Amino acid sequence: MDSFLRLAGGVLVLMCYGSALFPSADSAARTGASAAERWLSASREAFERGRYDEALEPTLELTRAFPNQQVYASRLAVIYQRLGKPADEAAALERVVDLSPMPIDACPALPEAYTRAGLPDKALEAFKRCSRFEPGNSDMLFYLGRAWERRGRSDEARAAYSEAVSSDRNHVDSQLGLARLELRAGRPANASQAAEAVLITSPANADALLVAGISAQRLGRVPEARRHLEHALTIAGGYVDVHVALGVVEFSDSKIPAARRHFERALQLDPGRRAELSPWLDRTGVTP
């Protein structure tokens, strides 16, 4: 399940029990009860309506009034996520980790928040922590492997992906992670074999089709590469990497206009990859 949906779902369930989260009301506790009830009502109503800017202040008041209640820290994390404040989201999720009997509920949202906040070292440490919250959890091991892979640390990535597959031999994302590492290591035949194994049970997996297509192209099997990549586009037409890979295939087969169309489409979909695509556009006679 998507990390945000997992956390938000938990918040919505706990919100059903909001009235039970207040401490026992003696005469002293009742002094602030009306204010707390107003905060709870305002936070819940704005949150349920998706008015996250309006939900922020009353939710902050709730976290101050009840610092040991996980539900308010979780709700605050979701609010910050929706408001595009990843550093604040990470801080709220750290509180969830401290309070929850199941800290893995904050994963992988916690390291992803650090990533979006531009804190890669904290993100990596959080991915490591998430993998320890529930040893053998294939999803958490996959996220850790992917974090290592993105850092170019192939050995660490391979260890995490392999452990994930050992825990769940059908963990497709980790299988494909290992396949990508084989490509990076210059072993396209191994990568092809791994991707084809995934496609037997998941023929519509665009990631597997991408790895299979790139592997086939590097092995000189151009028609097979084109078939895999064109199939991937029927599943995920906006998949930038597939357009790039298919552009390379067409270029290698001297089909320059077809290659140009894919590189242009890739740039249109992701202008941030202009530096990567410019050499290919130059080769196909296009000045970006």
CATH fold match for the domains 1-119 and 200-288? yes
Please tell me the pTM assigned to this model.
Answer: 0.82
Q: How confident is the model at residue 34 (pLDDT cuts 50, 70, 90)?
A: confident
pLDDT top residue among 64 and 3? 64
Residue 128 token pair: 């490591």
User: What whole-number distance in Å separates Cα of residue 112 and Cα of residue 203?
Assistant: 29
DSSP tag of 2: -
User: What whole-number distance in Å separates Cα of residue 187 and Cα of residue 194?
Assistant: 11
> What integer pLDDT is reported at residue 3 of this predicted model?
53
Ordered by start, the domain boundaries in the chain are 1-119, 200-288
Name the residue among 206, 211, 207, 237 with its Cα closest to residue 224. 211
φ, ψ of residue 195 in degrees (nearest 5): -65, -40
> What integer pLDDT is reported at residue 35 of this predicted model?
82
Q: How confident is the model at residue 105 (pLDDT cuts 50, 70, 90)?
A: very high
Name the residue among 206, 144, 149 with its Cα closest to residue 182. 149
Q: Is the pLDDT of residue 240 over 70?
A: yes
Pure H helices in the chain: 3-15, 33-48, 52-65, 70-83, 86-99, 109-116, 120-133, 138-150, 154-167, 172-184, 188-201, 206-218, 222-235, 240-252, 256-269, 274-283
DSSP tag of 101: S
Q: How confident is the model at residue 63 (pLDDT cuts 50, 70, 90)?
A: very high
* Pair 86, 80: CB distance under 8 Å: yes
Name the residue among 21, 90, 3, 8 with its Cα closest to residue 47. 8
> The domain 200-288: what is its CATH number?
1.25.40.10
> What integer pLDDT is reported at residue 31 of this predicted model?
43
Question: Which amino acid would we find at residue 185?
Answer: A
* Pair 239, 210: CB distance under 8 Å: yes
φ, ψ of residue 202 in degrees (nearest 5): -130, 70
Q: Which CATH class is domain 1-119?
A: mainly alpha
Region 213-234: mean pLDDT is 97
